[in-house]
Amino acid sequence: MTPAEARAAVRAVVEAASPVWIDPPIVQPGALYLELLGEDVRRRALMLQDEDGADLCLRPDMTVPALRVALAQTPPPPPPLIAYDGLVFRKQASGSAREREFVQVGAEWIGRAWPAAQTPETEVVARALEGCRAAGVEPALTLGDASLVGAFVRACGVGAPWDARVLRALARPDGLRALRDALAAPVREDPMAAAIASLPQENAERVLTEMLRLGGVSLVGARSAGEIADRVRAKYFTDGETKPSAAALELLSALVAINAPLAEGVASMERLLDNPALTKREEARQAAASVAAHLAALGEQVDLPARTHFAPGLMRGVGYYDGLVFELEAASLGERASLGGGGRYDALVRRLGGEPDLCAAGFVLRPQRLAEAAS
């Protein structure tokens, strides 16, 4: 099968659901991705600047640009199902076999309610698998759930603002090690941070701007002084809060390390519920029971591949998922094994300006890799 044939096969699967096709601009506001994914995005996205020095980027995915177009339509609400087919762009390390630009074909379901017997995640996973199979590939499927990880973090007694920092660490390959190192290091007094943190928020930007001016530091292609001041204040106050315990980090590390066949993976998750690091055990129990029931229903309604694993720590390549998340892979492609994936991301819709009760879930596939895997 050629890439063009794989692309047509996936498009036909998406088209059968009667979507509204959207072709979002290739150039996107860099500040939006920095807000969503943090400074890490600079290592992955192809960043640009406009004539005023504001950050732009070539779209590193299709989900965010397509949602922006759908949510901006007048009059609202957005279409219940949107689809897209276009190039995305990624920065890759020298010598990497991974593509710097490639086609993504996918769809996003947006709405306030779905039929009780068919959750949006069920539809999304089913369509993504159908797209792979239409291209002649039986993929391996890995399922995770971002809400489960968040519930375990809270159940360990990790509160704001440390909860967000721990979640970011869990999403990175070496994140927990780096966090442990940071926790073990003595806190050094930072007079500038202390000064900025002591000020009312409205004055912090002005003072930081003056400090940078006196130091001869110019902000070129970086975050604004106001954003930097907010981050300095947040880190200063975080350092002063009660830090997560070693036992909590050990438990969370064990949770995100689970990657096993579906039933075995769920059992491994449930065994962690007896861990004494869970100071709010009932919250973790409720979250685990909900995820287990959801996965069981998914298995009943969808023809899952023989190789279906459960990996609670699965985060894919972007950090905006807040519910079910899944990855489709072809092991024969080595480091380029990912064929696509998707999940649920209600909070992203709200951050992009959607109404508070809107929900969303979607998937994306890569025709070039599907064609290679089918060969």
- Tens-digit pLDDT profile for residues 106-125: 999 998 866 555 578 899 99
Range of lowest pLDDT (146-150, 209-213, 232-236, 308-312): 232-236
- What pLDDT score does 173 carry? 74
Asked whether residue 13 is domain-assigned, the answer is yes
In this structure, the answer to whether residues 101 and 6 fall within a common structural domain is yes
- What pLDDT score does 226 carry? 63
- pLDDT band, very low/low/confident/very high, at 167 (cuts 50, 70, 90): confident
Asked whether residue 268 is domain-assigned, the answer is no
Asked whether residue 171 is domain-assigned, the answer is no
- What pLDDT score does 229 carry? 63
Domain holding 213, by residue range, is 191-240
Residue 363 has pLDDT above 80, yes or no: yes
In this structure, the answer to whether residues 132 and 1 fall within a common structural domain is yes
User: What's the rounded mean pLDDT across residues 81-85?
Assistant: 97
User: Which of 47-51, 144-148, 234-238 has maximum average pLDDT?
Assistant: 144-148
* Cα gap 206→134, rounded to integer Å: 58
* Cα gap 193→235, rounded to integer Å: 9
In this structure, the answer to whether residues 103 and 221 fall within a common structural domain is no
Asked whether residue 95 is domain-assigned, the answer is yes
Residue 227 has pLDDT above 70, yes or no: no
Asked whether residue 287 is domain-assigned, the answer is no
In this structure, the answer to whether residues 18 and 122 fall within a common structural domain is yes
Give the chain's mean pLDDT.
87
List, for residues 9-42, the tens digit of each pLDDT value.
999 999 999 999 999 999 999 988 888 877 778 8
Total domains in the chain come to 2
Asked whether residue 217 is domain-assigned, the answer is yes
- pLDDT band, very low/low/confident/very high, at 302 (cuts 50, 70, 90): very high
Question: Residues 6 or more apart from 202 whose CB is under 8 A from it?
Answer: none
Residue 101 has pLDDT above 80, yes or no: yes
> What are the start-end ranges of the H helices in 171-224?
175-184, 191-197, 201-214
Residue 197 has pLDDT above 70, yes or no: no
Share of the chain above pLDDT 70, in %: 82
Closest CA to 13 of 149, 123, 162, 138: 123
> What are the start-end ranges of the H helices in 16-61?
30-37
Question: For residue 235, what is the DSSP state?
Answer: H
- pLDDT band, very low/low/confident/very high, at 188 (cuts 50, 70, 90): low
End-to-end, the C-alpha distance of the chain in Å comes to 6
User: What's the rounded mean pLDDT across residues 138-160?
Assistant: 93
Residue 202 has pLDDT above 80, yes or no: no
Question: Residues 6 or more apart from 37 whose CB is under 8 A from it?
Answer: 318, 319, 320
User: What's the rounded mean pLDDT across residues 273-299?
Assistant: 95
How many other C-beta atoms can be found within 10 angstroms of the C-beta atom of residue 208? Answer: 21
Cis peptide before 161 (omega within 30 of 0): yes
User: What's the rounded mean pLDDT across residues 176-196?
Assistant: 70
